[in-house]
Structure 1
Amino acid sequence: MNGQIELVIDAKAALGEGPHWDQVEGRLYWVDIDGRELRVYDPAAGTEDIHSFDQRVGAAVPAAGGGWVLAMEDGIYRFMEDQPLVLLASVEAEISSNRLNDAKCDSRGRLWFGSMNRKHAGKDGSLYVMDLEGEVRKVLSGIGISNGLAWDDSRGLMYYIDTLTFTVDAMDYSLQDGSVSGRRTVIRFAEGEGWPDGMTIDSEGMLWIAHWRGSCVSRWNPHTGEQLRKIEVPAPYVTSCTFGGEHLDELYITTACGGMSPEELECWPLAGGLFKIKPGVKGVAGNRCAVNADSITSDLNL
Structure 2
Amino acid sequence: MTTRRAVEIAVREYAELGEGPTWDAAAQRLLWVDILGSRVHTYAPESGRRTLTATEQHVGAAKPRAGGGLVVNLRDGVGLYDEGGAGGAGDDGGGAAFRWLVHDPVPGRRGNDAAVAPDGALWAGTMRYDEAAGGGTLTRIAPDGTATTVFPAVAVSNGTGWSPDGTLMYYIDSPTRRIDVCRVTDGGEHVTDRRPLATVERGAGFPDGLTVDADGCVWVALWDGAAIRRYTPDGTLDRVVDLPVRRPTACAFGGPGLRDLYITTARTGLARPEPLAGSLLVLPDAGHGLEGTPFRG
TM-score by length of 2: 0.92
The match for 1:277 is 283
C-alpha displacement of 1:121: 2.2
SS at match of 2:256: coil
- Where structure 2 has 5 or more consecutive residues not aligned to the other structure, the ranges are 86-93
Question: Partner letter of residue 194 of structure 1?
Answer: G
1:228 aligns with 2:254: no
SS at match of 1:154: coil
The match for 1:254 is 264
* Contact map agreement 1:3 1:280 (CA 8 A) in 2: no
- The number of aligned residues is 284
| CA–CA separation in structure 1 for the residues paired with 2:150 and 2:231 | 25
> Which structure 1 residue ranges, 4+ long, deviate > 2 Å from structure 2?
1-4
Q: Kindly report which structure 2 residues correspond to 1:88-237, keeping only aligned pairs within 5 A, or say none.
A: 88-91=101-104, 93=105, 95-154=106-165, 156-174=167-185, 176-223=187-234, 225-237=235-247
Question: Partner letter of residue 103 of structure 2?
Answer: S
| CA–CA separation in structure 2 for the residues paired with 1:177 and 1:257 | 35
Q: Which has the higher contact order (CA 8 A, sep 6+)?
A: 1
| CA–CA separation in structure 2 for the residues paired with 1:222 and 1:186 | 8
Change in Cα spacing, 1:17 to 1:211, as seen in structure 2 (3 Å) is: same
Question: Partner letter of residue 152 of structure 1?
Answer: S
Question: Partner letter of residue 12 of structure 1?
Answer: Y
The two structures, once aligned, show a CA RMSD in angstroms of 1.5
| CA–CA separation in structure 2 for the residues paired with 1:271 and 1:115 | 24
TM-score by length of 1: 0.91
| CA–CA separation in structure 1 for the residues paired with 2:188 and 2:267 | 39
C-alpha displacement of 1:259: 2.5
Q: Kindly report which structure 2 residues correspond to 1:6-155, keeping only aligned pairs within 5 A, or say none.
A: 6-80=8-82, 81=85, 82=94, 83-91=96-104, 93=105, 95-154=106-165
The match for 2:248 is 238
CA deviations over 1:180-212 (Å, ceiling 9, x no partner): 111111110101110000000011000000000
Q: Equivalent pairs: percent with the same residue?
A: 35
SS at match of 1:247: helix
Change in Cα spacing, 1:213 to 1:177, as seen in structure 2 (3 Å) is: closer
C-alpha displacement of 1:280: 3.9
Change in Cα spacing, 1:167 to 1:46, as seen in structure 2 (3 Å) is: same
| CA–CA separation in structure 2 for the residues paired with 1:279 and 1:2 | 13
